Amino acid sequence: MYENRTAVVFGGSGFVGRYVVQCLAQAGYMVRVANRRPDQGALLRSLGDVGQIAPFYASVLDDYSVATVMRGADVAINLVGVLSAPRGQGLLAVNVDGAGRVARCAAEAGVARYVHMSALGACAKAPSAYGRSRAAGEQAVRHYRPDAAIVRPSLIFGREDRFFNRFAAMARYLPVMPVYEPNTRIQPVYVGDVAQVIGQLATRDGYGGQVWSLGGPDIMTMCEIIRFVLEETRRHRPIIVVPGWLARLQATILERLPGAPLTRDQLLMLSRDNVMPGPESGFEPFGMIPRSVAACVPAYLERYRPGGGRAEMAVDEV
């Protein structure tokens, strides 16, 4: 059933990758989950039939592993990207050079369709190094695969996200909720909707060579997002707007820590709105209506409520 259609998903075991792998499996593709940690890709086998989803070692920093996993593939999708790295070295290595390497190997292997995931804030003149690296990565992809479909989602949310979950965790433990750049607008988009678009771009003709920007139905300021999280977690915390000078000082200190909970480059990213340029969400050509924050997020923030949400359930049951 799957012998004639094979897809390679770089970063397939990541947040977005898991949903993309499932979409491709449901479309009848053999899926190679290309990752530096094949053991993580192995956890996705249950998303398809026996033998349909297979983990492979591949690093976007290494020509040989990328070329090896690309052999015989009909579709290649690159979801790999880093948000921050010490001194920006990882941004260049992964978001630019890595993006070009995967595209080049796909071209050399004769892969029919190629999809590259970038970001809505990608721009050569972006204030953040991340935004500039994403734009440079798109140029590298276009150099080798001018027919590539490039996806630019806004901030992606979902059950496993590191955005709403992080704020909810902060609301559980902190006496106050800090907010940075409170008036910056963001248009969060649901991970399952992004994955469905990527799946269509990868499995259907007529989408190549174009850029597809995606945003959800809600445009929220950072302050509105914090209020939403506090309401859904049933936490009563004062919201404190962090002044710019203090935010930069905090970022300078925190970016030296493992995991870098806040960096100066992230503050620069927050200095600009991350919304669609027009009234459309970007899902219209695919016949889709994107899901809202209110429809998805409360279900997975419930566990951050006092008692893990169980206390309220007990009251309802009585």
**69-95 confidence digits (pLDDT tens):** 999 999 999 999 998 765 556 899 999
pLDDT tens per residue, range 122-131:
999 999 999 9
Domain residue limits, the chain: 6-156+188-214
Report pLDDT for 312.
52
Question: What is the distance of C-alpha 192 from the center of its chain?
Answer: 11
Q: Is the pLDDT reported for residue 267 higher than 80?
A: yes
Report pLDDT for 256.
84
Report pLDDT for 54.
96
Least confident stretch, 3-12, 78-87, 120-129, 172-181:
78-87
For the chain, what percent of residues have pLDDT higher than 90?
A: 87
- 255 pLDDT band, cuts 50/70/90, is confident
Least confident stretch, 26-30, 187-191, 256-260, 302-306:
256-260
Least confident stretch, 81-95, 181-195, 274-288:
81-95
Residue 214 near residue 194, CB atoms below 8 Å: yes
Fold of domain 6-156+188-214: Rossmann fold (3.40.50)
Report pLDDT for 313.
47
| Residue with token string 């920007």 | 213
Residue 209 near residue 146, CB atoms below 8 Å: yes
Report pLDDT for 72.
96
Q: Is the pLDDT reported for residue 266 higher than 60?
A: yes
Look up residue 278 and give its two tokens. 């027009």
- Count CA atoms closer than 13 A to 242's CA, side-chain side: 18
Q: Is the pLDDT reported for residue 30 higher than 90?
A: yes
Mean pLDDT computed over 106-110: 98
Mean pLDDT computed over 161-182: 96
pLDDT tens per residue, range 201-211:
999 999 999 99
Mean of per-residue pLDDT scores for the chain: 93
- 15 pLDDT band, cuts 50/70/90, is very high
| Residue with token string 């008036």 | 183
Mean pLDDT computed over 288-309: 94
